[in-house]
Amino acid sequence: MAKKRFIAGATCPSCNEGDTMRWWQEHHVEVVECVKCGHTDRRSPVASEDSESAPKQQDAQVIGIFKPQ
């Protein structure tokens, strides 16, 4: 069973509501979901055999989405 945790201070990129985002790991991929509008997003695995095809740059961009505006 995946543990779902809320992301403190995160803002949904879809509905712009704050503190509605939660995340969990699914098959070594981080999944984030907005409980308000149902928006979901997936992040590249932090460490896996596919690390070469998942540049760190992409990670930084995804994290940027969740910064409060």
Exactly one of 2, 29, 37, 63 binds Zn ion (CB under 5 A); that residue is: 37
Shortest reach from residue 2's CB to Zn ion, in Å: 20
Per CB under 5 A, 10 contacts Zn ion: no
Exactly one of 7, 25, 39, 66 binds Zn ion (CB under 5 A); that residue is: 39
Return the number of the residue (14 or 44) whose C-beta is nearest Zn ion: 14
Task: Return the structure tokens found at 46.
Answer: 């932090």
- 7 CB-side CA count, 13 A: 21
State how beta strands 21-26 and 29-34 pair: antiparallel
